[in-house]
Structure 1
Amino acid sequence: MRLPLLQVRDLHIAFNQGEVVKGVSFNLALGEKLALVGESGSGKSVLALSLVKLIEGAKLSGRCLWTRQDEVNLVPDATDAPNTLDLVKLRERDLEPIRGQDIAFVFQEPMTALNPVFSVGEQIAEVLQIKRGMTREEAWHEAIDLIKVTGIAEPVRRAKSYPHQLSGGQRQRVMIAMALACRPRLLIADEPTTALDVSVRSQILDLLDHLQYRFGMAVLLITHDLEAVRRFADRVLVMEKGVIVEQGDAKEVLAEPQHAYTQKLLNSQPIRDVVVPPTDAPVMLQGWGLGVQYPASGGGVKAWFIPKKFTALQDVNFVLRQGHTLGVIGESGSGKTSLALAALGLLPIQGQMKVSGHSWSGKSKVDLPLRRMVQVVFQDPFSSLSPRMNVSEIITEGLAVHLPELDALGRLRRVLIALSSVGLTEQEFPNLLSRYPHEFSGGQRQRLAIARVLVLDPKVIVLDEPTSALDVTTQKQVLQLLQKLQKQRGLSYLLITHDVDVIRAMAHQVLVVQNAKLVDSGNLDHILHHSTHPYTRLLVNAGYDKK
């Protein structure tokens, strides 16, 4: 029987506004991979962070028994076995040797977790100097070795890079390298793949699996992605509203769930419910020979005289018809977002763009009526909605620009219709118009972002990763809403995503973009089942093995 590394017994976690974790109990053995799943707000991250008291203001009761190594020089609770420590009762100074050393974290968003003004090698080396007492030179060489262990090519060069110079997958590998610096016995990975594209997501899970086996540590994977659980975990805990409602062998729980909430999560796979619009429907958005270039950094003094250019998009052609969804899929950095910004008239382009048959650049006042026709829903509603504006101000902001002739009553009528269209009403949310974004959940904020677009009655909506920041059940709800709105209003969607499941649920036609170039295109059936292009097959097959 494997050593019980962590024993959580009747753990309660409360804040001033109430209890968020309610009587949780579980064991985690050394060498075990345990997944903790649930929707956003279920208490997963609060539970994990509270194990080492990383959340200010949290009030803990119950027990978290940590099996220590002989060399850990702490005095255990006298009521416990002599080789265990109760993390709930430990003082701050006694927790310090455990944090980052025995228990390490990999956080969801590495761009936020990493310091932008230090190279990634310096940041890993700092951990080694503080926690393992290495000299600066020793720490630097060890940092390079750790970067190499996580599979990053050219580790010496990458160690000197800053976070913004790395891809999303590389930044997450750096976070894993930093977590491994002190050879922890427990690695807690909090949504480590949520912000990554599908093939990189697969690589990160494979890396965690390899490193867990290599170092013999325990891993607690916090996720809302049940396919990640199926692929990675030995056991699973299912958490709903602060309570563990089901636990057991991961494959058994996912194959035969006993609790209704687990069944609900498993049934949250996006469902295709789209109409088949006429193939000769009017063209709403069209691009020929589209190219996008950005100024490239570097080049020394010569760069002042011969500016270098970075090509983000090259010679792309597409047609989007009324009532159709054109999916654009590719890995991070492939050029998807540049295509979206070009379609919105927010970037200078090479080539031609037309909206409803009219030339479109987005630059002049002549384009203002066309701009109203082409709107956008961004990936992260919390970032795209101003925290200083209430719902009424957010939704009416566009009306002031595009429909200034409307009086107050006309604006209010449009706002209420838009909010009702996305399922937000005064009956469900009293004082809805005076609320602020932070008072809503992630899915509700995305509905607000959609309402902000609908109030202008657009013909084309650019959807830039509209569900990637949401948990699985909320993803399904938002996609169903988008499908309903498309049927009701005849909307055309330019859907940017890295998720094959979203493409499968929404798209009629698909563009596959790699390294700034359009490498494949066709209808959904062709892309998913008949394309022979190796990159298309890589993306489709990189989706988790669905069984």
Structure 2
Amino acid sequence: MALFEVTDLAVTLHTGSRARGRQVVSAVRSFSFSVDRGQTLAIVGESGSGKSASLLAATRLLGVDAEVTGSVRFDDHDLLALSPKALRRILGKDIGFVFQDPQSNLHPFKTVGKQIEEVFRVHRAATRRELRARVEGLLDEVGIADPSHAYRAYPAQFSGGMRQRVMIAIAVALNPALIIADEPTTALDVSVQAGIIALLRRLQRDHGTAIVFVSHDLGVVAEIADDVVVVKDGLVVESGSREAIFAAPREEYTRELLAASRLHGVDAVAPAPPTATQAAAPLLSVRGLAKSYRTSIRGARRTAIEGLDFTIGTGEIVALVGESGSGKSTVGRIVAGLQYADSGDISLDGVTFPTALADGVPRLPAQTRRSVQMIFQDPYSSLHPRRTVRASLAAPLIAQRVARSDIPGRVDRAAADARVDPGLLDRYPAELSGGQRQRVAIARALVLSPALIVADEPLSSLDVTTQAEILALVADLTRRRSTAFLFITHDLGVVSSIAQRVIVLGPDGVEETGTTADVFGHPQSAYTRRLLDAVPRLDGARAS
């Protein structure tokens, strides 16, 4: 008998406000799967396909505006029929959860130790004397160094990978029979991702835990799953063993997902550098870039970047890659004119950026401000929640004092270039999918016709087909508009498919630079080789 079995699950959501009119949305139409003890089931599909909604509905975490029908059985319990009190006894104790974004799921003002302790307190699973020792033992088990120090730390003092390990510690605290892991490796760099996958597999082996693993990354799924369920538009379109799904998919949609994953694998071929821009003066020139941050009131500083040199030509895509904490985003913000460098020579189209040991936004000419724009990692938090898409696209034009009569046409052109459906222009960010929001963010960057766009992890939370669409859009913009990109990412597969040149940042600075073909085909640095080795592949192995 299966440990966790979902049959004919359907979910209807009632969205919107009374003022704007309530809407009925069929989020999940027919969903069935099962997982046995000690096994891993992966659920894959595009954003909005119903992956997360089905699991939240099955465990009754969607809220009062969700109507759920079907059957959900866990260890001979009917979860949809249990009283709230009986359900609480199961959730957290017998079913653990690891969510996508640990930063928003961990309390910012409570120490890590106290948050893990809450699991034991709620389920009365330990005495007060036992708590500290059990929590520190969990922190050690999930691979966090110096558990006694980590116990007293706050989430903001941890990296993304360490916060995810804390979430896993909470999920496994009471040795649950089932862990539901919803996109647990999204936005993590490849080496941290590999560590999280290895940790889940080890915990499963040691405790016999079943795992339901939700992901859009088919390379990760190939590594961890025993069985796979493919979903689209709230329906299961295909299911079976991992080997069968990956080797001989029956459905066209599954083949499309696999093809999109292969498009930006580490073996994909990047486009050749545009010869016309290589001989000309570079659009962006960076020499000797250095940046440090004050870490104490006594003036101690931590070096983020030191001695970085690179150039970007008109219409060229240069990738900046490295692990979390390597300084990638810092470089991007400096190039975008959003913060000062401590020292170095930075010029964009002949205009030199000021440097200073100071905070704040550098003073730049208005034309230079228009010439460089930025796409942030999370379009939901970087788009104003109370502005329509149209208003968000118009805001940069208003700030640059563009004639009001010209604004509607420029908004429409930017939306069209970024392939934003005209029907979305009067919607709010919360009413858009992740891919739609990212297109809006690209349109906002395009509306001022910049020469250079700094794209900071623009694909990290998107499914593989949406990633492929955004990559095609970026490549098209470089051809039609000659827009240059500094493409910041931890995903080396993405780099191999789009960038002409790559800069690899390590903990001690620049590890390697060169054409993408040379760096990926013949890496000279042990650090680069380690990053490439950590990239998951569709055959279930890591790159070698």
Letter of the aligned partner of 1:538 in structure 2? R
Residue in structure 1 matched with residue 410 of structure 2 by the alignment: 414
1:72-471 correspondence runs (5 A): 84-269=76-261, 270=263, 274=271, 276-278=273-275, 279-297=278-296, 303=297, 306-349=298-341, 350-361=343-354, 367-402=365-400, 404=401, 406-426=402-422, 429=423, 432-471=424-463
Letter of the aligned partner of 2:380 in structure 1? F
Contact 2:96 2:178 in 1 (8 A): yes
SS at match of 2:377: coil
Structure label with greater radius of gyration: 1
Matches of 2:38 and 2:106 in 1, distance apart? 28
Deviation (angstroms), 1:214? 0.5
Letter of the aligned partner of 1:393 in structure 2? A
Q: Give a deviation string over 1:329-355, Cα, whole Å, max 9, x none.
A: 000111101111111122221111111
- Check 1:472–1:485 CA distance in 2 against 1; reply closer, same or farther (3 A cut): same
Matches of 1:64 and 1:184 in 2, distance apart? 17
Contact 2:328 2:488 in 1 (8 A): yes
Deviation (angstroms), 1:14? 1.8
Q: Does 1:506 align with 2:498?
A: yes
Percent of aligned positions that are identical: 39
Q: Does 1:474 align with 2:466?
A: yes
| Residue in structure 2 matching 1:66, options 65, 74, 77 | 74
- Unaligned ranges ≥5, structure 1: 68-83, 298-302
Residue in structure 1 matched with residue 20 of structure 2 by the alignment: none
Contact 2:272 2:500 in 1 (8 A): no
Deviation (angstroms), 1:254? 1.1
Residue in structure 2 matched with residue 53 of structure 1 by the alignment: 60
When structure 1 is superposed on structure 2, of 382-391 and 9-18 the one drifting more is 9-18
Deviation (angstroms), 1:275? 5.6
Contact 1:29 1:218 in 2 (8 A): yes
Contact 2:246 2:538 in 1 (8 A): no
| Residue in structure 1 matching 2:28, options 6, 14, 21 | 21
Matches of 2:238 and 2:199 in 1, distance apart? 27
Matches of 1:126 and 1:425 in 2, distance apart? 46
Contact 2:337 2:364 in 1 (8 A): no
Matches of 1:25 and 1:545 in 2, distance apart? 27
Letter of the aligned partner of 1:291 in structure 2? A
Letter of the aligned partner of 1:390 in structure 2? T
Contact 1:327 1:503 in 2 (8 A): yes
Matches of 1:312 and 1:136 in 2, distance apart? 41
Deviation (angstroms), 1:439? 2.4
When structure 1 is superposed on structure 2, of 450-459 and 362-371 the one drifting more is 362-371
Residue in structure 1 matched with residue 19 of structure 2 by the alignment: none
| Residue in structure 2 matching 1:41, options 36, 39, 48 | 48
Q: How many residues align?
A: 516
Question: What's the Cα RMSD here?
Answer: 1.6
- Check 1:365–1:157 CA distance in 2 against 1; reply closer, same or farther (3 A cut): closer
Matches of 1:7 and 1:417 in 2, distance apart? 49
Q: Give a deviation string over 1:456-503, Cα, whole Å, max 9, x none.
A: 111011010111121111111011001001100111111100001111
Deviation (angstroms), 1:281? 3.2
Contact 1:274 1:483 in 2 (8 A): no
Letter of the aligned partner of 2:274 in structure 1? P
Matches of 1:7 and 1:443 in 2, distance apart? 31
Normalized against structure 1, the TM-score is what?
A: 0.91
Letter of the aligned partner of 2:419 in structure 1? G
Matches of 2:537 and 2:13 in 1, distance apart? 40
Normalized against structure 2, the TM-score is what?
A: 0.92
Letter of the aligned partner of 1:88 in structure 2? L
Q: Give a deviation string over 1:115-164, Cα, whole Å, max 9, x none.
A: 11111111111211221432223111101001111111112211211101
Residue in structure 1 matched with residue 17 of structure 2 by the alignment: none
Letter of the aligned partner of 1:423 in structure 2? R
